[in-house]
Structure 1
Amino acid sequence: MGEFHDRFTASRLFGAPPGYVGYEEGGQLTEKVRRKPFSVVLFDEIEKAHQEIYNSLLQVLEDGRLTDGQGRTVDFKNTVLIFTSNLGTSDISKAVGLGFSQGGGENNYERMKQKVNDELKKHFRPEFLNRIDDIIVFHQLTQDEIIKMVDLMIGRVANQLKGKDMAIELTDKAKALLAKRGFDPVLGARPLRRTIQREIEDQLSEKILFEEVGPGQLVTVDVEGWDGEGAGEDAKFTFAGSRKPVGDAEPDLAQAGAAGAPSAAE
């Protein structure tokens, strides 16, 4: 919602008033809901939107309807509205020690939830929060969940390699190191995609370019210089090519990733 940070851009959602440029086009939100009332609408990072948007949404959340700039009543009663927010996350790492869950995870979650709710109350007016059916604070990411994300993203690499008659698999140690390097206490798992591109995709591309690995091979990614403990700053990923299994059999990682690839978060 960062692009709707002032009152002029906010009018694009619900339609410009009569006499203004774009009046006949209607609002980006109201027009889509008017044509497809059975919809799910996601407001990403709602805290970045202008105050006028909150005011307009009050009637939507209370009565399930809204009058657009052309005077037409748009029915929102069959529309699901979802708001996401990053409020409170800047202090979470200091307040609850955000990271891979160790012990006392439930206590950390309750403290984090309270911190987020306090920040929501500071930013949004009570009449807006009171019209929201439920507020869900996501749990901290565990190491197992980060590794599942690694599987999904590597699955996309596996799909690309199929076009070259190649396959890829990662050892448990390689997955663990990617999860460690791709997770940040403040940014969460967002750096994971860049880590996989830098550590796996770029290096693998070079090896294909120099014909160190090629068609008909299964590339096994492992780690050297790391025992699974510590930061592993000096550890390196290794790529070893071997004959690809005959038939339709693919590594478990590639199958799991390929099945989940379309739903991977961008």
Structure 2
Amino acid sequence: LFDEIEKAHPEVWNSLLQILDDGRLTDGQGRVVNFRNTVLIMTSNLGTEYINKSGALGFLQSSGDQEERESHDKIEKALKSTFRPEFLNRIDEIITFSSLSKEQMQQIVDLQMEEIQERLDEHDISVELTPAGREWLANEGYDPAFGARPLRRALQKHVESPLSVSLLSGEFKSGDTVIVDVDEETEKLFFRSLGEPVPAENIQSVESQG
């Protein structure tokens, strides 16, 4: 795996060209490295400024719309302006990743919450995320330039850290079920015990989604 290949020195590209062309690499001492049965994956951020940023918070609204196709064409032009034709021609396939949809972000939230639940299992505490809480975290953890990368930090800041403080202070104890919800007035996350009245339709268990 070669990450952000566009930042490499052109001599590195020449070495990769030899690998893609001959299936092996020879150094100045005559030593040969065989790349038979090897899959080479190269990533690049070229043209990411053209990725579709339409819709709320940059979420992709339609994977088949005209704007996305145009952005893919611009990305292809950016690749051609950076890499030599003989290099690009030896690449079997170029895959362009589109912006994450809102639904996909919420699925990632669920996966991250499952990891938090695994750690809470040691304390015999369950955590449940309301649909409003899931949507709030998906919005908070999304960045048009970095996709879902900020999500883990958002979960640490808004869920893990404050929940840890609540556990240490004795607000929640072993056997409790903690509801993660959004305060409509402050538009911030808050925690409450399952024992407090809350409409059942507004709660969806993280554990039940595995």
Classify the TM-score, shorter chain: 0.7 to 0.9
Q: Distance in 1 between matches of 2:174 and 2:12?
A: 54
Structure 2: runs of 5 or more not aligned: 196-203
1:192 paired with 2:144, answer no
TM-align CA RMSD: 2.0
Verify the 8 A CA contact 1:155 1:254 in the aligned structure 2. yes
2:198 matched residue in structure 1: none
Residues paired across the two proteins, number: 200
CA drift of 1:91 comes to 4.1
2:37 matched residue in structure 1: 78
Verify the 8 A CA contact 1:150 1:179 in the aligned structure 2. yes
1:253 paired with 2:206, answer yes
1:222 matched residue in structure 2: 181
1:241 paired with 2:184, answer no
Q: Distance in 2 between matches of 1:103 and 1:87?
A: 22
1:42-73 deviation per Cα after TM superposition (whole angstroms, max 9, x unaligned): 11111111111100111110121111354222
State TM-score, norm by structure 2. 0.87
Matching of residues 32-111 of structure 1 within 5 Å: 42-92=1-51, 97=54, 99-103=58-62, 105-111=64-70
CA drift of 1:92 comes to 3.3
Structure 1 letter corresponding to 2:54: G
Verify the 8 A CA contact 1:178 1:192 in the aligned structure 2. yes
Verify the 8 A CA contact 2:60 2:98 in the aligned structure 1. no
Task: State percent identity of aligned pairs.
Answer: 47
1:137 paired with 2:89, answer no
Structure 1: runs of 5 or more not aligned: 1-41, 227-233, 244-250, 258-266
SS of the residue corresponding to residue 188 of structure 1 reads coil
1:182-234 deviation per Cα after TM superposition (whole angstroms, max 9, x unaligned): 112222221111111111111111111111112111111111116xxxxxxx4
Verify the 8 A CA contact 1:109 1:140 in the aligned structure 2. no
1:36 matched residue in structure 2: none
Which one is further off, 144-153 or 187-196?
Answer: 187-196
CA drift of 1:101 comes to 2.5
1:114 paired with 2:73, answer yes
Structure 1 letter corresponding to 2:37: N
1:25 matched residue in structure 2: none
Verify the 8 A CA contact 1:222 1:239 in the aligned structure 2. yes
Structure having greater relative contact order (Cα 8 Å, sep ≥ 6): 2
CA drift of 1:242 comes to 3.4
State TM-score, norm by structure 1. 0.70
Which one is further off, 96-105 or 171-180?
Answer: 96-105
1:181 matched residue in structure 2: 140
CA drift of 1:252 comes to 4.6
Q: Distance in 1 between matches of 2:42 and 2:187?
A: 40
Q: Distance in 1 between matches of 2:45 and 2:8?
A: 13
CA drift of 1:105 comes to 4.3
SS of the residue corresponding to residue 191 of structure 1 reads helix
Verify the 8 A CA contact 2:128 2:179 in the aligned structure 1. yes
Q: Distance in 2 between matches of 1:104 and 1:218?
A: 38
CA drift of 1:240 comes to 1.4
SS of the residue corresponding to residue 135 of structure 1 reads coil
Q: Please, which of 124, 147, 162 is the counterpart of residue 106 of structure 2?
A: 147
